[in-house]
Chain A
């Protein structure tokens, strides 16, 4: 009975052994020496010794003995530290033994109280556990297959690439990059090739830009074919006197002279494609240093490229904006680079804000004297005063902007009206929007496509013009819009807008210097949605739709498992069947 029990327990030990891999982790070297034991022939050990004859005694090795001839600290198996330590004697000076420096043995342990009698031939020991509360009955593992790594393959010149291909993980070794096959024409996004006349070196047209969270110019960025893009970046000069005349980035000539654009890219069939000269619209002067100012520095470069489908680039012109910079020892220049591609009409003079409905973020279009304008609001300068420039209102974006209006008058009855008018003028801008485009593609010649803007100025009723003056200080632009058309293809429409001024009473006789003005823009959505369900037509469920959630999920293919649908049917039938049978 007891024997049977212990055999069962040993079987349990063998089964449980796999569930405790941690116990073996620190076992760098196993104590058991297969040659000394009575087990069957230990094949792995024989192989180990054959493979590395030099390390034949690896089982008796000491992994922490790293300094030959010296005693390694806390290395209890180091023979140089004396025999006391090698058996972990009490006279050893070390505070602890490094893992691996004592003979670690693979044990599988059970609580001792579970074992009645031990009659197994295997080596067993009774030890107390780490906190010393319980006694453990331990069996030493003697599994030649589990205790050793499998023998790795022998590497030859032939199987090395195959092994690498099989086991290689990611590393810093660069993967081989396949070069795209050369095309006979430029595709969208292809770098535009250029050729230097003097050396006939091939390169690509550059469009400097900022990179890596820094605004500093990266000169090597190529320009992409048909990607009309504008980039800007800054350059910092610490020695302007020298850089002014020597830095090619400041010299307009370096952006067009000495090289020409290739009409089509170099490929297998065309080695010498036609070259297209870059023509400057006006000949810019080279940079010149006078005093501490550098004149004629390039601040903007605009390339205009005419293309013709697969026939490539026909014509390239370049236009410059020059600026003067100064400042020692550090001067900063912002440069702008634009590439505009055009096919037949040379300039894109008009851009729609949507077709037909407004695109979110597109500028709001208004009509001023029968010409199309954008609706704008106040913009401030660097000193906070109202600027000539104005911000555009973008569709569906709430805005608030303000600036200081420089009035500098003593308020009198005579100049009150004039001040009012000039402030209304400041709010409205130079182009007062009379009518607002209902859709993004409104045609100026069709009055049906434009809505009136309701302007609500401050009323002068009940105010004595001899005592007070009404000054507009704030403008609220309220735009009402809605989605119209098909649910699957909604189009945003502006239904109407209001300019609502808020005024302040100012006593006459006071001196006005600066007046803070403010404009706010609000978009209100009044879309009338159809009755739900709004998406695709489906069976109308009388019960709450959520009640059939799993069935819905299963049928909508979220699980991507065809078995689910069969399962659903089965369960439905079973449920129905059981209900019928029970009644």
Chain B
């Protein structure tokens, strides 16, 4: 007998959707799309175990299930709460969610340096988007901000701990994609920091993916630092044959020059699945191949995330492929 998956119905912001039992509220909302989707800073669907930490995806459960329609007393983290049949969830439609999410954003920004003008992540930063949507114009935080010195973890990656929101995504990358994790979270509470054991270099083939999963500007590409603002660059789908990874990437170009290489990301900022596998990039493709001749460039990439780069500038203009090498 084929395995029949149990389907359950859940209502999010008044829209009903049918999903497999065990799906999280967040993923059910992503099936609906649009405003029903709560923001997620720490959850990353491609990295099992992530989520639950940043609390920006808090939603209100107005009815637990058909069997037990009582509301849940606390707001729940939608990324780690599974749906039940008949569950009613309020996200965008709940004043309480809006207030508390604003509170979480305020906490995330409390010790954040707000150095967007000199941060390479600006323009594709999730915290920037979230601050724009939920933050207030003025901070109430009068205390001295917690600071760390930026450190180089290896010759390719820069760590700006000041900007970090401790989402733990990069730790999961290190656990799941690379051998011998050498970095993690040290200390606790307000003093917690991402670091390596005694500033060791993070050097293994897939460590560069830490940069892609980082929702803020804490981990940046040293080969791209201060080269250009991301919105001045043209993202192009490109491919090369690589023995270590799938070789499918996005190259960010200015004229005929490649400024940086990233993985292909979807509208939630997550690395896409290509042919059923998450298209993580190896460090060789990411850092060592910055010449247009290295890549087979397919065409402009539509960035569907709601941020500066996607404001229609490149999505509509038809660019000719720059160069094709067979």
Q: Do A and B come from one complex?
A: no
A interface residues, Cβ below 8 angstroms from B: none
B interface residues, Cβ below 8 angstroms from A: none
